[in-house]
């Protein structure tokens, strides 16, 4: 009989690359019965860029690519936080009115895999209810994509304290914690050294490239940003500044794979419109084809406002570049700097807050060192194939699930 997995989601899109494209589909592929419980906003599911699906995915439950999708209308945090904190304080999880927990209980799964702090609360409610209701000891995974609560980010009054208390209390019910970088793993172990924590990086399936191919008839230099454009990520002002500073020195193009949430237009000055290539949001599987002509990938985790998440991050785009043999250009952030120093696959500007013109100076410097960029490209492909591609991460995911479902003692060697 197939073991049943219930993936519980509080805020992410049901098509999220980590949750659906990789974890859910990998588990389904090796025989698990996988259900995702996912939120609607204003009655609709939504894409990874926040765009609502108004003409499809309208049923309350359906099957998509072999995965059962169950939906619910998410309540506002401000409407539920008081009840949640009271229940946690009183350790009363069984009689919850939380819609995610109620649907989770109905699934009667063997493993519950939660992806946010509030879905973890729902998972704890499910675990306690099923234990009391049918003496069923289900396993609970907390998959933390980030440091949350990040002690340095701005939240409404007292929210930091409330969320930290939630995490410290709820994590005691967790059977295995997964996260996305070694630094965040250390953060969890500092909280509780006895936690079982493993890192599953946000990496794509290996591109099967042995060497980045030269594009025929390609001239000039292309820098790329993949993902969303916001003040914190892919700052459009920096893109404009580095493009203006670069076009006078070289045939320069800036490619944006992705864009703003919900696709609102970017304010590109007319004089550099021809130098900005906007692909819009593309399918996850199509990203490698859009990377073929890219020379350098850009990650700017701006630290004007201190953030553990930005310091500890190894974001999707970072690995997406490397997986396609594209060296990375980053500002000084602990985890990315350590990775680049170890594997010689990119460039770190030794400054926390880098301006667009300073990025342009780095680009100009390395344009004249093509052999160094080629070496970085080769190193990127090698490390992705041998250590970090999703096929390697799958092995860790399968181990965690087998560990939780088996009564046998495991040996590590």
**pLDDT computed for residue 231 by the predictor:** 62
Sheet holding 197-199, edge to edge: 61-64, 67-73, 33-40, 4-8, 111-114, 139-144, 176-179, 197-199
And the tokens for 412?
């590590």
Is the CB of residue 410 less than 8 Å from the CB of residue 198? no
For residues 32 and 112, give the distance between their C-alpha atoms in angstroms, rounded to a whole number: 12
Give φ, ψ of 65 to 5 degrees. 55, 40
**pLDDT computed for residue 67 by the predictor:** 98
**Range 368-402 burial, b when 16+ CB lie within 10 A, else e:** eeeeebeebbbbbbebbbeebbbebbbeebeebbe
Is the CB of residue 4 less than 8 Å from the CB of residue 126? no
**pLDDT computed for residue 249 by the predictor:** 85
Is the CB of residue 257 less than 8 Å from the CB of residue 349? no
Q: Is 232 exposed, middle or buried (0-12, 13-18, 19+ CB in 10 A)?
A: middle
And the tokens for 85?
């904190």
For residues 337 and 346, give the distance between their C-alpha atoms in angstroms, rounded to a whole number: 9
Cα 366 off chain centre by: 29
Domains 4-201+390-405 and 221-388 share a fold: yes
Q: What is the pLDDT of residues 350-364, one digit of tens each?
A: 999 999 999 999 999
What's the per-residue H, E or C state across 126-159? Answer: HHHHHHHHHCCCCEEEEEECCCCCCCCCCCCCCH
**Range 312-333 burial, b when 16+ CB lie within 10 A, else e:** bbbbbbbbbbbbbbbbbbbbbb
Sign, CA dihedral 311-316-317-322, equals positive
Q: Is 67 in a helix, a strand, or coil?
A: strand
Which has the closest alpha carbon to 374: 207, 211, 209, 208?
211
- The CATH architecture assigned to 4-201+390-405 reads 3-Layer(aba) Sandwich (3.40)
For residues 44 and 293, give the distance between their C-alpha atoms in angstroms, rounded to a whole number: 36
Is the CB of residue 378 less than 8 Å from the CB of residue 300? no
For residues 393 and 216, give the distance between their C-alpha atoms in angstroms, rounded to a whole number: 34
Return mean pLDDT, the chain: 93
Which has the closest alpha carbon to 36: 103, 94, 84?
103
In terms of phi and psi (left: phi > 0; alpha: psi -120 to 50; beta: otherwise), the region of 116 is beta
Give φ, ψ of 312 to 5 degrees. -90, 0
**pLDDT computed for residue 364 by the predictor:** 93
Q: Is 290 exposed, middle or buried (0-12, 13-18, 19+ CB in 10 A)?
A: middle
**pLDDT computed for residue 394 by the predictor:** 97
Give me the residues paired with residue 141 across strands: 113, 176
Task: Mention every residue, 6+ apart, whose C-beta is less than 8 A from residue 260.
Answer: 49, 228, 229, 230, 266
**pLDDT computed for residue 109 by the predictor:** 98
Q: Locate the domains of the chain by residue range.
A: 4-201+390-405, 221-388
Residues of the chain with pLDDT under 70: 213-218, 231-234, 262-263, 412-413
Is the CB of residue 133 less than 8 Å from the CB of residue 101? no
What's the CATH code, domain 221-388?
3.40.50.2000
Please count the other Cβ atoms lying within 10 Å of the Cβ belonging to residue 8. Answer: 30
Q: Strands 67-73 and 61-64, how do they pair?
A: antiparallel
**pLDDT computed for residue 262 by the predictor:** 65
């Amino acid at each position: 009989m197939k073991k049943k997995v219930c993936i519980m989601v509080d805020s992410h899109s049901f098509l999220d690359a980590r949750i659906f494209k990789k974890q859910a589909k990998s588990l389904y592929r090796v025989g698990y019965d996988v259900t995702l419980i996912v939120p609607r906003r204003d009655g609709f599911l939504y894409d990874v860029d926040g765009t609502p699906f108004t003409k499809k995915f309208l049923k309350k439950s359906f099957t998509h690519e072999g995965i059962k999708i169950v939906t619910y209308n998410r309540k506002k945090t401000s409407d539920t936080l008081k009840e949640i904190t009271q229940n946690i304080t009183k350790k009363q999880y069984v009689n919850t009115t939380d819609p995610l927990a109620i649907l989770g209980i109905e699934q009667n799964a063997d493993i519950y895999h939660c992806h946010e702090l509030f879905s973890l609360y729902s998972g704890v409610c499910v675990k306690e209810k099923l234990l009391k209701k049918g003496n069923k000891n289900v396993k609970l995974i907390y998959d933390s994509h980030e440091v949350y609560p990040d002690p340095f980010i701005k939240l409404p009054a007292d929210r930091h304290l409330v969320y930290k208390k939630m995490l410290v209390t709820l994590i005691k019910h967790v059977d295995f914690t997964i996260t996305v970088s070694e630094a965040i793993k250390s953060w969890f172990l500092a909280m509780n050294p006895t936690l079982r924590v493993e890192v599953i990086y946000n990496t794509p399936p290996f591109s099967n490239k042995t060497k980045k191919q030269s594009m025929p008839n390609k001239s000039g230099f292309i820098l790329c940003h993949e993902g969303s454009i916001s003040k914190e990520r892919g700052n459009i002002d920096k893109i404009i500044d580095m493009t203006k500073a670069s076009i006078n020195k070289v045939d320069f193009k800036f490619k944006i794979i992705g864009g703003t949430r919900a696709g609102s237009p970017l304010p590109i000055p007319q004089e550099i419109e021809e130098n900005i290539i906007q692909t819009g949001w593309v399918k996850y599987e199509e990203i490698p084809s859009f990377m073929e002509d890219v020379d350098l990938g850009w990650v700017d985790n701006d630290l004007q406002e201190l953030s553990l998440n930005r310091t500890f991050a190894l974001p999707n785009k970072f690995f997406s570049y490397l997986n396609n043999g594209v060296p990375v250009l980053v500002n000084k952030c602990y985890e990315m700097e350590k990775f680049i120093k170890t594997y010689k696959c990119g460039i770190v500007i030794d400054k926390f807050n880098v301006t667009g013109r300073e990025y342009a100076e780095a680009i100009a410097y390395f344009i004249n060192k093509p052999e160094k960029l080629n070496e970085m490209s080769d190193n990127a492909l090698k490390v992705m194939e041998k250590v970090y591609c999703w096929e390697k991460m799958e092995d860790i995911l399968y181990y965690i699930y087998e560990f939780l479902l088996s009564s046998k003692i495991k040996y590590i060697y």
